[in-house]
Every structure is written in C-alpha cells, then in structure tokens.
A and B are shown apart, each in its own frame.
Chain A
Amino acid sequence: MIELTVNGKRHSVDVEPEMPLLWVLRDVLDVKGPKFGCGIAQCGACTVHLNGEPVRSCSVPVSAAADQKVLTIEGLAQRGQLHPVQKAWIDHEVPQCGYCQSGQIMAAVALLGKNRDPSDKDIDAAMTNICRCGTYARIRTAIHAAAKTLKSTKA
C-alpha cells in the first residue's frame, strides 16, 4: 500500500510502485484534471504539484509521491474561490480545446509561487508545456494579469 495526499485528502493505493502518478490519479483515484499527452514528460498536460513543485506526473512513479502532497487542478480553488490564475484564464479566454490547460495552469501557478512578478523571459523559461491549439499569447497575458492580482491582494 502506498499512501499519498491528493488535494488535501489522504489515500491508500494498492498498485505497483513504478505505476506513474498520472495513472494512479486518473484510473485509481478518478482525478481526471491531469491529462495524458505523451507519456515522456514532453508536453506537460499531466502537470501537477508535488509538495508545491510542478512535476510531469506521467513520468513520476507513484512511489516517489508516497507520503507526499499532490495538488491537481481540482484542488486549486480555495473555499469556492478560484485561484487568481484561473480567474485570469477566464478573463482572457485563454483555452481553446482546453486539453493542455490544467497542466498550463498548474505550471503558471508554480511559476507565480516562486516569482511574484515574472518577466516575459521568466515566463518563456517556465512555461514549456505544449498547447496544440496555440493559446501561448493569451497564456502570457493571463500570467501577467494574475501576477498583478496577486500583487494587489498581497498589498
């Protein structure tokens, strides 16, 4: 049995230790926000936070998440309030098909967790997830907007 905490809830799962975290989330725990895109940590559609760090869950064995905290898109809103990144994503109509967007949002939240006021270069470096529909320009705009919101709520 492997124990892990997903979005604040503790789970015990009886699976192979090498089973990727993504498939434990999706097929065992029915947490469908993280998506499968490539299986080789290239596209980032499966991005979740492991102890606050963004990871590509398709390439993280569940054993590496044992007794750790996993945050997925489903756990981002707090007390019914969307995260400022989610709000900015809605305000700027970022998604098209939306398949990559939970990964994009988790990557953006992680970036803003470390860097409250990222430059375009910082965004370039941090946001390496693939969006096949081509929402990159709006992702950039929305990250800057969310940074502004975070700054004003802090002040």
Chain B
Amino acid sequence: MKTRFARKFEPARRKFLKQSAAIGGGLSVGFNFPGALAQKAGAAVEINAWVVIRPDDAIIIRYARSEMGQGSMTSAPMLVAEELECDWRRVKIEYASANANVKRKRAWGDMAAVGSRTIRNSQEYLRRAGATAREMLIAAAAQQWGVPASECSASNSFITHGAGGRRLSFGKVADAAAKLEPPKDVKLKDPKNWKLIGKSVKRIDIPDTVMGKQRFGIDVQLPGMLYAAIAQCPVFGGKLKSIDTAKVEGRRGIVKVLPMESFVAVVADNWWRAKEALRDVHIEWDVGANGNVSSASLMEFYRGGLDAQTDIATARKDGDFDQAFASAAKKIEAEYYTPYLAHSCLEPMGCTAIVKDGNVDVWTSTQNAEASLANAAATAGVPLENVEVHRVQLGGGFGRRGGAQDFVRQGVAIAKAMEGTPVKMLWTREEDTQHDFYRPASLIRLKAGLDASGSPLAWYSRVSATSIIATLPRLPLKDGVDPQAVASLNDLPHAIPNVRIEYAQRNTHVPVGFWRTVGHSQNPFVRESFMDELASAAGKDPYEYRRTLLAKSPKDLGVLEATAKAAGWGQPLPAGVFRGIAQTEAYGSYTSAVAEVSVDKNGEVRIHRLVLGLDPGYVVNPDNVVAQMQGSSVFMLTAMFWGEITIKEGRAEQSNFHDYRMMRLREMPKVEVVLAPSGGFWGGVGEPGQASIAPAVCNAIFAATGKRIRALPLKNHGLTLA
C-alpha cells in the first residue's frame, strides 16, 4: 500500500509531501503515517486523539512513541483496544504526528521510547482513551435507540442493547459519538476481565520487514535528494581548523563540501561518492586539550574518585557503616570495573532533512520525535510548529537515538546550508563507533562486614563514574547523585542494617549516554557478584543466602524463587557444569537469572543453559516479552564477553565490527524465559532482562573455576564464549 507523507494537520505543507511520494515512490508500509488512514476515507472520525473509526468499521489506533524492535507499536495499541472492546483483527495502527503534538498541546503526551517506559508510563491514559471512546460509542447507540446507555454494552466492535440483541457497529455510530462530551471518569476493567492483554498477538510491523518493505530512516527517498557523508573530529569535542578540498573539486557527483564547526560534510549525488570524496578532503582539526587522554589516564582519574575525601555525594546512608564494619567478624573488600560501551545500532546514525520557506521536514530514526523536532527547530531557527519529524522504523535504538540528537542537528545544519534541497546524511560505521555517547565506564569500591554467622551487617559502595545526567541533558544532580550511576546499589533491597552508598562524579571529555539498561547494565554485575563473594565467605549457598536477605522484599524474592525453581537450583548437574545465580530490580520490573556454565582449559565458556526470570507486574504481549528477554541475552553476552571501547590519544580506538565484536548466531546459548507476572504494578520489559545475566554467568564461572571476575569484558581474562 502506498502511503503519503500526508499531514492531516497542516494542509499548506501537503504539496511538497504529496509530490515526494509520487516521484520518490513513497513509503510502502503496513502501518501508516500521521493522518494517512484517516484521510483516505473522508468520513473517518476521530473519537479522541488515540482512536479514529472509519465507517467500514476499521479501527485506527494511534501510536505516539517509536518502534525499534521492542514491539510497543503493537502492545501499546493493545491497551487501547482492550478497553475499546474493538475487533483487534480490524485494527490499523498509525503514528501520531510530532508536529500535531506541538499544535494540539501534547495531545499524545510523551513521544519518547526510552527507559522501558512506553507501556508502564502510558498504560493508564491509553486504557482510559479506549474506555472513554467505548463509552461515547455506547452513548451514541443508546441515543439512537432511545434507551438508557446502562442497558447497552460493547464487544468486538459492536454495541448491543440488552438481551434483545439489537446491534450497531462502531462505524455506524462513530460520527454521532465524536460529537458527545467525553465522560470524565470512566472505569477501567479489572485485569481478570482482560481479553486481549496477556495474549500473544502478532507484531504489526513484522510482515513488511520480512518482505523488505519496512522503511527505516536510511531508506527515505525524496525527489531531487542529495546525500551527505560526514567526518567529525576524532578527538571528542574538537573543532575544525581548516580544510583543503583541492583533490575533490570537479569530481564526479560532488556538489559541495561544507566546513561546519565540528565536522565536515561532503554533499554528493549518491552517498558512496560523498563518502569516497570525504577521504580525499584534507582536514586539520583543533583537538583541544584532550589529545593525550588514554584509558590509563582515565582509569587514574576514576581511581582518584575512589580515594577522594572531598567532592563525594552520599546516595544512601542507613545506620553506621564505619562502626559496624570495624566490629565485623569478617571483612571483605573488592574493586569492580565496567568499561565504556558503544551502542552499535545496526543502522548507523543518520538524518534526512529539507529546510524550505521557513519549514523543516525531517526523516530520522529517533527514539524521541519531540526531541528531534525541538533540535531541528533550534538548528534551523524556526518555530516548533514549522517542523515535522516524519516517523520511520529504527534500525536499533538502545538509547543512542534518544537523548543526544546530535545526528538531527547535523542533518538539519547540512540541509540549512543546502536550503531548498533535501539531503540525506548518513554516518559510516566508523563514525558511529567513534562518535557515540558511550555507556559510562565505572569503577566501584565495595566493602562488607559479616557477623560471626556470615550475615552481612554492613555494606559500602563508592561509584566513581561520569554522570550522564550532568553531561548529556545537563541537568542538575539532586544532592550530587546521578541515579543511573548508583542504580541497584542505592536501592539495595537486602536486609542489611548499615549501608552507605557514595558517588564520586568524575566527568571526562568522553561523551556518555543512556545505553540499553544503563546503570542496571553494570551495577547489578557488581552488586550480585559481590553478594556472591559474601555468600562464599560465609560458606553459604548463594541462592539461600539471597533468600534470607530478601525475606522482606517479596517481589525480589518471588522472581528469585521462581527462576531458581525453573532452573532446578540444587539439583545435580553433569560433571564440569556449574551454576551461578543473580537477582535484581530494574525499570520497575524484577529479574533473576541462573546460568549453567562449563569452562574448558582454553578459556572457552560454554553456557549450557540460561534461565531468565521476569516479573513485570503485568505482561501485555507474552511472546514479545519472551523475544525481548532473548534479545537482552544476546545484548548482554556481547557486552560482557567482548564489549569495551578503549581510549587512545583522546579518541576511541575501536572503529567497526572487526575490532568491536558482536555475538553471532553460533554462540547463542539455550535461553529459557520464566514469565512470573505477580500483578498490581506495571514494570518495563525492553531493558530489565539484561540486568541479572552478567552476574549469573560470572558467578557460575567462579563456581567452575574459583576465579572471581571483577572487571569486564571477559576477553581480558582470556575467556571467550564457546
């Protein structure tokens, strides 16, 4: 189906967009762009911002956030449909327009798909939107029949009156329903009456993907479009000094070389020509003060944070750690390190834009269309209302495409320099790897004091790391603490009477950002490995040790027990195979993992089985949740075995997949997912799955070899994934 980049809410802009579809072939998609479906049938009626109904009973549910494989484009509309009581088979999903969100006072609320919050943060207003629309449809039918609405009910896209069985379809009353005053306080269903939530539903975007019709940011094609490749200063934060374009002047296809403040763009008639020419542009950079920074100097700087007496923030203080530690029967101390990590979205960063007549149109793979829109407006110097961010599928996000928006500023700056011409900017993989906002490196010191029975009386952690919050969104830190940096330490749920958690904010020139699971991608490794050290020092079974300490934390305990039970904790294993366990909370969900591992004499780690438990409160689309847990396994195993960005002469040393290794299919272990939703709360799904994996595997490696892993990645310990 051909769909236009039509904009229901701004007819003046339609001409260009319509033309682009006609010449460029448009985007063939299974879901739809803002307003397109509603426009197609003239009489389609918007009941509210989320629900549009066509006379032929097609139900259009809008989706406001982004789709990057997490499946929310299907599961969020399920929440609307559940309350709407519509026929899911007739549901079509279209993106809400970012431009319309500006003009309609954020009718669709937050558009960001970040922090595993699409479902948990929007579930209430989405269900309410469905229920409100349902009540309006029922009221309209009741009016038509001249009966009280209380005698009518809705199901499967029909309103029925009493036992008599008079029926009207949603499409027949949509027009009248839209004219009614929306009810203020609709009642949401009791979860036990859900029909759709909790059932596995096919993801809406998959068929197009499988046919090669899915359109990602990189696939946008516009009439007269040019292509840009860029080079950024290899040392983070450096500026352009000068360029010499003599070698590319007059070269076939090259339209322009643009010297910008911190990058150089070559604009050409195809991307390959632009990229090739860029290699022959001689560029002089002003690298600034950071040209000598190395991984070793950074480590020294972070170590300073561990030893410092000043500039330290306290994230949590229970009881008196110092006194309890001093009097402990047994003292344990350790240091843990987790490295910088790149996101490596398989689709490199990019942005297509046209700046024309004071308007800006942007096509980009973004996790936050509102942030993209604001960045485009600021870069072009136009009001927010003059910008549209057209929605496309993301070739991976993992946090890279949310907060930073550097690629949007670049793309719009290029388009502004080429005013009137659409330009598609695309990064190389090398730019993508070397100009990331990396998962922060973190150095952590831990101390614990046990009593004579081995029970922990005192726990201390100090985290020395760069603050994402202070350096990326540049927000002030409450009490000097970046919650991501101390995540899962400051909220330690274990029964330990004396706890002190400290944060040493140590910011460097290496850009850091949100990376799938962020602080919970590293601190649970530290916490749950150290917890294993305590259990080992106490001579206790690591599962039973945790159970005792979590006796008063029912959700943590529940998922720990469900996972251990599914894994058969305590039951005999084949010779040479050993278990490790871990448990943590992340993004409002509770997770646990049990790994069964053997390690051969060459350091090959075979993961025989990985059992992953998750309690997200409610499960909306179970098969999709399983997929997220499977994917989390690959993401975390990749990071823990190979992931490490090192710094030399102020720049990232790794550049592409030959030296920044990704896990392959042959390395995929058997992953068993245990969904244990306990109800009563809404937790995240896209990220929590990763949290318990690294410590479970490392604890199993300890059980197998006696070697305690205190720094990642495992390749630095001579270990690899078999």
Contact = CB atoms under 8 A, between A and B. Distances in A.
B352 to A, nearest CB: 13
B272 to A, nearest CB: 4
A90 to B, nearest CB: 6
B211 A99 contact: no
Contact of B272 (A27, A40, A105): A27
A128 interface: yes
A45 B210 contact: no
Given A35-B347, A136-B668, A93 B216 contact: no
Contacts of B630: 134-135, 137-138
Interface in B384-403: 393-398
Given A19-B272, A98-B214, A40 B69 contact: no
Contact of A95 (B209, B428, B633): B209
B219 to A, nearest CB: 4
A79 to B, nearest CB: 14
A11 to B, nearest CB: 15
A72 B212 contact: yes
B393 A97 contact: yes
Interface string B177-206: 000000000000000000000000011011
A4 interface: no
A123 B145 CA distance: 62
A18 to B, nearest CB: 9
Contacts of B396: 97, 99, 132-133
A124 B347 CA distance: 24
B706 to A, nearest CB: 30
A137 B209 contact: no
B623 A93 contact: yes
Interface in B590-626: 623-624
Contact of B216 (A42, A99, A124): A99
B206 A125 contact: no
A132 B346 contact: yes
B346 A37 contact: yes
B211 A42 contact: no
B215 interface: yes
B270 interface: yes
Contact of A97 (B394, B658, B662): B394
B69 A95 contact: yes
A61 to B, nearest CB: 11
Contact of B658 (A19, A42, A134): A42
B207 interface: yes
B631 A134 contact: yes
A96 B627 contact: yes
B149 interface: no
A140 B665 contact: yes
B19 interface: no
Contacts of B634: 131, 133-134, 136
Contact of B657 (A28, A40, A98, A105): A40
B664 interface: yes
A18 B211 CA distance: 29
A38 B429 contact: yes
A124 B271 contact: no
Contacts of A16: 252
Contacts of B624: 93
B293 to A, nearest CB: 27
A130 B635 CA distance: 11
Contacts of B252: 16
Contacts of B658: 40, 42
Nearest to A32: B219
A47 to B, nearest CB: 12
Given A97-B69, A133-B396, A140-B668, A36 B348 contact: yes
Nearest to A125: B666
B430 to A, nearest CB: 8
Q: How large is the interface on A (under 10, 10 to 19, 20 to 34, 35 or more residues)?
A: 35 or more
A130 B69 contact: no
A74 interface: yes
Given A35-B347, A102-B212, A42 B656 contact: yes
B415 interface: no
Contact of A130 (B202, B210, B227, B662): B662
A134 B635 contact: yes
A55 interface: no
A97 to B, nearest CB: 3
B400 to A, nearest CB: 11
Contact of A93 (B206, B215, B633, B671): B206
A113 B633 CA distance: 30
Given A32-B219, A133-B396, A101 B631 contact: no
A101 B627 contact: no
B701 interface: no
* B207, B347, B348: residue with the most chain A Cβ atoms closer than 10 Å: B347
A91 B396 CA distance: 22
Contacts of A28: 270
A93 B201 CA distance: 10
B632 interface: yes
Nearest to A105: B210
Contacts of A38: 429, 656-657
A54 interface: no
A132 B273 CA distance: 28
B345 interface: yes
Interface string A120-155: 000111011111111111111000000000000000
Contacts of B270: 23, 27-28
Interface in A17-59: 19-20, 23, 26-28, 30, 32-33, 35-40, 42-43, 45
A32 B393 contact: no
Interface in B419-443: 426, 428-429
Contacts of A43: 346, 657, 662
Contact of A77 (B211, B656, B666): B211
B68 interface: yes
Contacts of B563: none
* B210, B396, B634: residue with the most chain A Cβ atoms closer than 10 Å: B210
Nearest to B202: A93
Contacts of B668: 134, 136-137, 140
Given A36-B426, A98-B214, A101-B209, 9 more contacts: A32-B215, A32-B221, A77-B211, A98-B205, A130-B657, A131-B346, A132-B396, A133-B631, A134-B630
Interface of A: 16, 19-20, 23, 26-28, 30, 32-33, 35-40, 42-43, 45, 72-74, 76-77, 82, 86, 89-90, 93-102, 105, 123-125, 127-140
5 contacts: A38-B656, A73-B211, A124-B665, A134-B668, A140-B665
The 10 closest A-B pairs by CB, nearest first: A134-B634, A96-B69, A33-B212, A97-B69, A99-B395, A73-B212, A98-B209, A134-B631, A124-B666, A42-B657
